[in-house]
Amino acid sequence: MQVFRRIVTAAFVGTVLAAAAAPAGLVEEPKRAHPFSDNVKVTVTETYFIVESDGIPNHPTAKFPNADNPNRILRQEYRFYIPRQPRRADRPTKTPMGPIGVAVNGIPFYNRFNAEGEDAVQVEVFDSCCGHPDPKGRYHYHKYPVCVKSPFKDEPGKHSPLIGYAFDGYAIYGPNGDDGKPPADLDECNGHSDAERGYHYHVTAKAPYILGAYRGVVEEKNFPRKPRPGAPPKKKGPPGP
């Protein structure tokens, strides 16, 4: 009984001390183990962020189908594997059609092309949050989603926040670098390195918009079948970044 009392007393004292150390009216919350939104289920292992999403946006969308898009948004059963220790590949890998990465709100990123091999950003119609559904009902982004109610907001003069990950594990950020301006040294994959974040991608106003290619080793678990490389455009697209 004395041992039990000591344990209870120690626990109580620890709680009191912790409460005294915290500012009045504030309760310190445990640090999140991942950067994803609450509408996404994430399992954190030593190797992966395992991201499970129903593909339903956590922001307003247009009404689909509509005059510009005959598809409707359907609930999905996504499970994406994001490597936590990305490895640089010997050479860039082309992005496939369909999902190429995932935003922190569980919505997949697509490459710049539509099914006809055209620049989707130039010829397709998106809603005000910069997304739309494909024939399988998969709502997705071909470019930077700037919906005011999305998690993606850039503070003037600062590096853009994390908006998601590519399937090679490298992080994807908004358009701005450390000086609050778009980086001038992005490579063919739309990425570069800095001292704080290592290698990472940035979205751009011009093609390829999100990723030009994968700079790292791609996690094949994200593809039910071997990914089909992105089709080359039938028409000349906009200049690169």
pLDDT one-digit tens code per residue, 82-137: 999 999 999 999 999 999 999 999 999 999 999 999 999 999 999 988 999 999 99
d(CA 213, CA 93): 6
Average of per-residue pLDDT across 73-81: 98
Does some domain include residue 197?
Answer: yes
Is the model's pLDDT at 234 over the cut of 60? no
Does some domain include residue 3?
Answer: no
Does some domain include residue 163?
Answer: yes
Is the model's pLDDT at 224 over the cut of 90? no
Q: pLDDT confidence of 228, banded at 50, 70, 90?
A: low
Q: Taking the C-alpha atoms of 161, 162, 163 and 164 in order, what is their torsion angle to the nearest 10 degrees?
A: 180
Does some domain include residue 23?
Answer: no
Does some domain include residue 30?
Answer: no
What would the two tokens of residue 234 be? 């039938």
Q: Residue 22: what residue type?
A: A
Higher pLDDT pick, 218 / 150: 218
Q: What predicted TM-score, i.e. pTM, was given to this entire model?
A: 0.80
The C-alpha R_g of the chain, in whole angstroms, comes to 21
Enumerate residues 6+ apart whose C-beta is below 8 A from 155: 180
Q: Tell me, what's the pLDDT at 229?
A: 53
d(CA 134, CA 158): 34
What would the two tokens of residue 170 be? 């490298």
Does some domain include residue 18?
Answer: no
* Total number of domains in the chain: 1
Does some domain include residue 125?
Answer: yes
Domain containing 182: what range?
35-233
Average of per-residue pLDDT across 26-33: 55
Q: pLDDT confidence of 30, banded at 50, 70, 90?
A: low
Q: Tell me, what's the pLDDT at 49?
A: 97
Q: Tell me, what's the pLDDT at 75?
A: 98
Q: Is there a contact between 94 and 113 (Cβ–Cβ < 8 Å)?
A: no
Q: Tell me, what's the pLDDT at 238?
A: 38
Does some domain include residue 27?
Answer: no
Beta-bridge partners for 236: none
